[in-house]
Amino acid sequence: MRAALFISPRINVIEDARKAGYQSIIVYTTKNQMTDRMAELADEVFVFDWMNYAKSLHYTKSIHEQTPLFRIYGFGEYSVKLASFLSASLNIEGIGLSAVEKATNKQTMRNILNQHDQHYVFFDTVSSFEELLKAAEHSNYPFIIKPVSGAASMNVSKITSKQDLEAVQQQFTGEDVYICEEFLEGKEISVEAISFSGKHKVVAMTEKYTTGSPHFIETAHIVPYVPDQQAEIVEIVQSVLDIVELETGLSHTEVILTKSGPKIVETHVRPGGDGITDLVRIATGTSMFYALFLYDLYKIDLFPEKINYQFMASNQFFFFPEGKVTQIDGVEELQKMTSIENFQLPVKEGDVLQTPTDSTNRHGNIILYAKTQEELDRLILKVKSTLKVTTKK
């Protein structure tokens, strides 16, 4: 029997695992993530704080003794780290601890990448506001500061002058280490890849839109993006995945297309968030999760060498004005539209909205798809003109 343990998975991940052929599916989750559908799909569900590594290892050892685990999977910034720890502790094949540690610590990653001229980006690390002021003295403006172990665009700021430094002073509590990094100017994209036995296959590139300075919160993603320098981007991303020694699994690498060529912002040994895996599935017709499970189980490589994209797909995020919501219009009209994969609007009348400060507090999203870029652009314009949220301060 092929059994797998999944740490905090989405429902579609469990569905793909069952479809691929896993006969026993065990899930670690938390109370707020537990659903009836999850209980229906999984053979066993354990609800507890899986961020507690000692408890997680205790439970997993017991499970492994009763139902030998073939793989342990995590798909988020923190769950993939636990999955690699458990896999290494129990001698189960999976993403290596070394690759995860390099990818989840921005300082470690930048140190490694800067050993290679093609990836060099000036940076410094600081753990106090006083150290930031000193670093600013020998840094060229503008530069970016972000937590060494951060995620979801939290506490990311662009520093363009001495005045900007004062605005981020409250972030320094003495507990976090920040990386100060040269600001890379150009179009931002991400590269979605799947790795088998140390070989990396780029499945798609994602065009990204952000709020810009100061926090660069992502406002939209579009898949596929096909740049002129595609071959160069593929080569540089594959070299980075080699450098972090990723052997198996999904990866998401952020790239800036600068005037001097593609530059790596950071790489993650987990799938892209913000629904990017949904966009890849819609565009290619193949789920990256299903492809990973199929290879792990049977060594079947599902993605062809040349990817043929069936659709253009986009995730558009909502940013409404601050204030108390007095009226919402257009929801029913949008729900009747075709070419919509998913529509999430948690906002309701009476809510008091604040301007989003990171990716966790945006006001909703909608996933759209179309055959061409022109059709997709028309859909996006229609959504923006149809959905109206009125607020009053």
- pLDDT average per 10 residues of sequence, the chain (393 residues): 95 97 96 92 92 94 97 94 97 94 86 83 83 79 79 70 78 76 90 96 96 84 95 95 95 94 92 97 98 97 94 97 97 93 96 91 96 97 97 92
CATH superfamily of 313-392: ATP-grasp fold, B domain (3.30.470.20)
**252 vs 237: CA distance, rounded Å:** 10
pLDDT for 141: 83
End-to-end CA distance of the chain: 59
Domain span(s) for CATH 3.30.470.20 in the chain: 185-310, 313-392
Question: Could you give the C-alpha distances from 313 to 161, 234, 240, 373, in angstroms and in order?
Answer: 38, 21, 27, 9
Residue ranges of the chain assigned to CATH 3.40.50.20 = 3-94
- The CATH classification number of 185-310 equals 3.30.470.20
What is the pLDDT, as a whole number, of residue 125?
83
Query: What's the pLDDT score for residue 334?
Result: 94
Segments of the chain assigned to CATH 3.30.1490.20: 122-182
The reported pLDDT for the residue numbered 135 is 80
Closest CA to 276 of 306, 254, 304: 254
Tokens at residue 119, please?
């990836």
pLDDT given at position 240: 94
- Per-residue model confidence (pLDDT) at position 153: 53
Which numeric CATH code is attached to 122-182? 3.30.1490.20
Could you name the CATH architecture of 3-94?
3-Layer(aba) Sandwich (3.40)
